[in-house]
Structure 1
Amino acid sequence: MTSWIGRLLLCAGLVLAGVAQAQERGPVTNLPMPRYVSIRAGEANVRRGPSLTHRIDWVFTQKDMPVEITAEHGHWRRVRDHEGAGGWVHYSLLSGVRTVIVDRDMLQMRTRPDPASTITAQLELGVIARLGECVPDWCRLSVAGYRGWAPKDALWGVKPDEIRD
């Protein structure tokens, strides 16, 4: 009897998980939510709400800054930066090009996704790098002419379980 109830609860949980996954899509784009993108422009106004009539709270001034989209409304995307600050940005100011922020000072990039491989560069805290391939614990980066692999847990702008080819 107990195992039957356990199986029933497991099945119900799997169905609910499937429903939750189905709902994790943006209502406008049908793309996964939340998701990471980058700032396309050198200046991007961050507004209090999803329209030009809403007040500008602050401005992104760094092109290629990674942000996380947390909501969609028409041509507007609610974004959050690596410090947790957020607001609404017009979709034309965003790019699908993936970038990350180095979250650990003097982060060592390596030739392979292996802590024993040769160091190709050291990156300061806050550096923005272009994101390439990601395996379970490492991501390939390119920045300022350097290429290499860095531990995923030292980067903001990529999900811990994200795999990229």
Structure 2
Amino acid sequence: MSRTIVIHKRALQVFALVFFLTGTAIADRGPVTNLPLPRYVSLKAAEGNVRRGPSMTHRIDWVFKRRDMPLRIVAEHGHWRRVEDRDGAGGWMHYTLLSGNRTVFVEQDLIELKARPNDGSQVVAQLEFGVIAQLGKCDEIWCQLSASGHRGWAPRSSLWGVEPDELRN
């Protein structure tokens, strides 16, 4: 066996080990969906069991009980997605419990929802810590939200569920 083939075989073994241990590909793409990892989704159901491993035989560690709660998918395995909440708690959930509808968690108390994406704009509402809002467009600083019948713009820095550099049209 030539040295080149041995090196390639070793690299493939390392990649397989990383994939097996983490459930993710090194290229930051899910092995099942080919979608980016990590990525954000929301809880579709009113309740969702979070399991220790990617099957129904694994024990339930958590039960998320907040419909539309934003979650971050960090790994995939078959019909299962490894998710984390804003505190880093999580585990494996069946993909049918998750939705691609984007929501965010308000991280600061009484943030101002503005009519336009600038500091001088009129305040249309205030959102309390813990509010879950539907996510719309995002520029470098502001994200458009809708919550409790109010629609406006909030600073991205006060939200969990959107990446710091993520732009949305």
Task: With the length of structure 1 as denominator, give the TM-score of the two structures.
Answer: 0.86
2:167 is aligned with 1:163? yes
Q: CA deviation at 1:22?
A: 7.8
Note the residue ranges of structure 2 that are not aligned, 5 or more in a row. Answer: 1-24
Residue of structure 2 in register with 1:77 after alignment = 81
Q: Secondary structure at the match of 1:67?
A: strand
2:163 is aligned with 1:149? no
Q: CA deviation at 1:86?
A: 1.2
Instruction: Provide the C-alpha distance between the structure 1 equivalents of 2:124 and 2:163, rounded to a whole number of angstroms.
Output: 24
Residue of structure 2 in register with 1:86 after alignment = 90
Instruction: Provide the C-alpha distance between the structure 2 equivalents of 1:24 and 1:137, rounded to a whole number of angstroms.
Output: 25
Instruction: Provide the C-alpha distance between the structure 2 equivalents of 1:63 and 1:86, rounded to a whole number of angstroms.
Output: 15
Q: CA deviation at 1:95?
A: 0.1
The one of 47, 62, 66 aligned to 2:66:
62
The list of structure 1 runs, each at least 4 consecutive aligned residues, that deviate by more than 6 angstroms after superposition, is none
Q: Secondary structure at the match of 1:23?
A: coil
Residue of structure 2 in register with 1:118 after alignment = 122
Residue of structure 2 in register with 1:105 after alignment = 109
Residue of structure 2 in register with 1:48 after alignment = 52
Instruction: Provide the C-alpha distance between the structure 1 equivalents of 2:151 and 2:61, rounded to a whole number of angstroms.
Output: 36
Note the residue ranges of structure 1 that are not aligned, 5 or more in a row. Answer: 1-20
Instruction: Provide the C-alpha distance between the structure 1 equivalents of 2:119 and 2:52, rounded to a whole number of angstroms.
Output: 43
Instruction: Provide the C-alpha distance between the structure 1 equivalents of 2:124 and 2:87, rounded to a whole number of angstroms.
Output: 28
Instruction: Provide the C-alpha distance between the structure 1 equivalents of 2:112 and 2:88, rounded to a whole number of angstroms.
Output: 25
Q: CA deviation at 1:24?
A: 1.1
**Deviation per CA, 1:110-152, whole angstroms, max 9, x where unpaired?**
0011011000100000000000000011000000100000000
Instruction: Provide the C-alpha distance between the structure 2 equivalents of 1:110 and 1:118, rounded to a whole number of angstroms.
Output: 6
Counting aligned pairs with the same residue, the percent is: 63
Q: CA deviation at 1:102?
A: 0.2
Instruction: Provide the C-alpha distance between the structure 2 equivalents of 1:143 and 1:123, rounded to a whole number of angstroms.
Output: 8
| Contact 2:62–2:90, Cα closer than 8 Å, also in 1 | no
